[in-house]
Structure 1
Amino acid sequence: MSAVQILSAIVIGLASDHAWSMAAGLLSTGKVTVAAVVDDGDHLRARACDTFGPVPAYRCLAQVPDDARFDVALVCSDNRAKAEVVPWCVARGSHVYMDKPLAATGTGAQAVAEAVARSADAGTRVMVAFHTVFDGVHDEARQLVADGALGRVYLARGVAGHGGLREGGVSDDFVDWLVDPARGGGGTFIDQACYLLDTFMDQLGDTIVEVDGTAVNLGERDYLPASVEDVSLATLRFAGGAVGVVDTKWHQVGPSPLRLSYHGTGGTLIDVGGRWELHTAAGVVPPLDWQRTTERDGVVSYTRATPPKDGYAGEAGYFVDRVLSGEPFHPALTVSAALRVQRVIDAFYASVRTGTRVAVAG
């Protein structure tokens, strides 16, 4: 039996709470060891050494030795910094596992995409962790749309929210940059809508070409600058003619799962939080895990429980396995998909600033 290949990892950015969970996911595979960390927070570097062992801990990328090489890099830096960090990683030959979104702005995201393209010949790849792709029904929903179970989709709706950053237990380090418009890129829209935008474009196989956005700060959070929204609403237009609606908020009372629905001329597909429903008049039969419930007036209804996710362990395991096998990442986890999402985010904030509907950059 061959020995398990152990990948060396550098963790860059510890102020995001996701960094600790994503790093734990990597370690849980038994195929990764943390070899170095980078963050300018003294207390965060100390915590990293307590968590991962006495690894080299650097304040900034400039302190990392020029000859240091790492098989993989976990990037959870603030959104603005990603435009510098990810190119640094791929230039050194590290495969990147990064938290969403790709950057704080479309310009930063373009810089990342160009750096990744330059490294492609060396086989260096980047996975942008849109966690919703690991919903066990993601690809089934995509296939149902492709098979015509909904007919022509004319409307996509998405909802996301939580009860607030500090109110939900987000660390002060994380809040500090999430509410800084320069470092975070915005408020609840860039934070939460990115999941829905990525899901929409992947499952519908279509691109968003126009956005009309509204952003509101309710003024009830003293830690939230007035320029950063905690409620957002966007209407979208897809290249294929469908329209979309997304709302997000950091003021959700009660349960707050991401929920979505697709409405077509031949059917409706709904994620109701823990369960999916398909109502179709198109004669398309879903996979066996979908249970037929009713048939009325030519419409057959099915339901499917959303299978439990493996959390960060499953997501990190997927990343590691794809790095070791050389298999491509899921299309919705690629830099090109994340760049499309970032351009929609840019158009949203441009629409908010101008009060007009804005075309998404091509």
Structure 2
Amino acid sequence: MLLLCVVFSSFSSIVSAQSQEKLKVLVVGMTHDHVHGILQFHKQGRVIITGIVESNPELIERYKKSYQLPDALFFNTISSALKATKPQAALAFNAINEHLAVVEACLPQGIPVMVEKPLATTLEDAKKIEALSKKYNTAVLTNYETTWYNSNHYAKDQVDQGNLGKIHKIVVHSGHEGPKEIGCSKEFLDWLTDPVKNGGGASRDFGCYGANLMTWLMHGKAPKSVTAIIQQYKPAVYPKVDDVATILLEYENATGVIEASWNWPYSIKDMEIFGSSAYFHAVDAQTIVQKKQQSKPISGMAPAAVYGDFISYLEAFLTGKITDTNDLSSLSNNLLVVKILEAATRSAKEGKKIMLD
């Protein structure tokens, strides 16, 4: 992970000394429905929320009632929250184009930030985040659900150990019936279906998963080119953004296929890896299928991964236990994710292959 050995050399000692204490976090924004996760952890007593930054009164009242949150926990601005509290990290649950502002407020005070995927809507914003991380020697992480899939970590082990032979193709499917169809909140839909606030539709919301996993499996190597077909199957439902995308990544000796959609009949997040001597399918978080040449497929359950959720990962990161510079949540990985997604948007708009530097 970018600057891992340096970014938290001083901070990790503080966290280590407090290893028996609950992690203290600042929640920035509540418009992302994934905020339910951290609120549940807080309700269960697993973490301590030192403050919540949110300005929408209706949203505040709804969550106060649902999770029995006191008035004193809420702040209108990040600066006021940081003056009154001392979190160990800030977690951003707001629109993607607002991530930069969270980083700008927290990093100068040495507060690391974890944002929900993807890192940013534009490569320009992503590079600004990188510059701030370097300047203030403080990390910015990106959270993906698939980071906690045991099947994906087992797949990476199989690739790294050479058990699949040379990797020729990786296919990642990510999507569901659509955010409106599955009942996402109005506040979430307002920015998720906005081309500026989200950067796009399904191509960004779900395309990032494939780019993240492929960058990880390819050990941080960028593809040579990106080619994309980005469409609207439901313009009446999502008039401003795309709802389906197919993105092709061309590597030196391999191809990546990212299939992202808000149109599938069920929710899916899986990954297929075709090697020269074996095939691997991470069917879901736990289920795997493997097949070698001239043999029957073998199905089973993946061994347990080290980190089961974003909080256990964050705790491990803050105590210096994670040192992978190409980790799934790393800044280096997610800078490339944004670069790939921006190239995909351009490819679909211009109708041509986009060569990457």
How big is each residue's C-alpha offset from its partner over 1:239-281, in whole Å with a ceiling of 9 and x where there is no partner? x32112111111111x322122111222211223452122235
How big is each residue's C-alpha offset from its partner over 1:189-235, in whole Å with a ceiling of 9 and x where there is no partner? 1101211211122123243231111111123543x22x410011111
Q: Write the letter of the residue equivalent to 1:314.
A: D
Is 1:326 matched with 2:320?
yes
What does 1:250-261 align with in structure 2 at a 5 Å threshold? 250-253=262-265, 255-261=266-272
Residues in 2 aligned to 1:64 and 1:165: alpha-carbon distance in whole angstroms = 31
1:337 pairs, out of 333, 344, 348, with 333
Q: Per the alignment, in what secondary structure is the counterpart of residue 137 of structure 1?
A: helix
Residues in 1 aligned to 2:166 and 2:23: alpha-carbon distance in whole angstroms = 45
Q: Determine the structure 2 residue equivalent to 1:286.
A: none
2:193 pairs, out of 173, 179, 183, with 179
Is 1:5 matched with 2:1?
no
- Describe the shift of the 1:319–1:27 C-alpha distance in structure 2 as closer, same or farther (beyond 3 A): farther
- Describe the shift of the 1:93–1:210 C-alpha distance in structure 2 as closer, same or farther (beyond 3 A): same
Q: Determine the structure 2 residue equivalent to 1:45.
A: 60
Do 1:25 and 1:314's aligned partners in 2 also have CA atoms closer than 8 Å? no
Is 1:262 matched with 2:273?
yes
- Describe the shift of the 1:74–1:42 C-alpha distance in structure 2 as closer, same or farther (beyond 3 A): same
Task: Name the TM-score, length of structure 1 as normaliser.
Answer: 0.84
Task: Name the TM-score, length of structure 2 as normaliser.
Answer: 0.85
Is 1:271 matched with 2:282?
yes
Cα RMSD (Å): 2.6
1:353 pairs, out of 335, 346, 349, with 349
Q: Write the letter of the residue equivalent to 2:320.
A: G
Do 1:132 and 1:138's aligned partners in 2 also have CA atoms closer than 8 Å? yes
2:230 pairs, out of 190, 215, 221, with 215
Deviates more, 1:146-155 or 1:266-275: 266-275
Residues in 2 aligned to 1:300 and 1:146: alpha-carbon distance in whole angstroms = 23
Q: Write the letter of the residue equivalent to 2:142.
A: V
Is 1:21 matched with 2:37?
yes
Q: Per the alignment, in what secondary structure is the counterpart of residue 219 of structure 1?
A: coil
- Describe the shift of the 1:245–1:335 C-alpha distance in structure 2 as closer, same or farther (beyond 3 A): same
Q: Write the letter of the residue equivalent to 2:206.
A: Q
How big is each residue's C-alpha offset from its partner over 1:128-162, in whole Å with a ceiling of 9 and x where there is no partner? 11221211122221121122222221111121221
Q: List alignment gaps of at least 5 residues for structure 2.
A: 1-17
Residues in 2 aligned to 1:132 and 1:95: alpha-carbon distance in whole angstroms = 21
Q: Determine the structure 1 residue equivalent to 2:111.
A: 94
Give the deviation of 1:301 after TM superposition.
4.7
Q: Determine the structure 2 residue equivalent to 1:233.
A: 246
Q: Determine the structure 1 residue equivalent to 2:6.
A: none
Give the deviation of 1:317 after TM superposition.
2.3
Residues in 2 aligned to 1:162 and 1:346: alpha-carbon distance in whole angstroms = 22
Do 2:192 and 2:201's aligned partners in 1 also have CA atoms closer than 8 Å? yes
Residues in 2 aligned to 1:41 and 1:34: alpha-carbon distance in whole angstroms = 19
What does 1:237-316 align with in structure 2 at a 5 Å threshold? 237-238=250-251, 240-253=252-265, 255-273=266-284, 275-281=287-293, 296=294, 299=295, 301-306=297-302, 314-316=309-311
Using the aligned pairs only, state the percent identity. Answer: 21
Residues in 2 aligned to 1:338 and 1:198: alpha-carbon distance in whole angstroms = 7
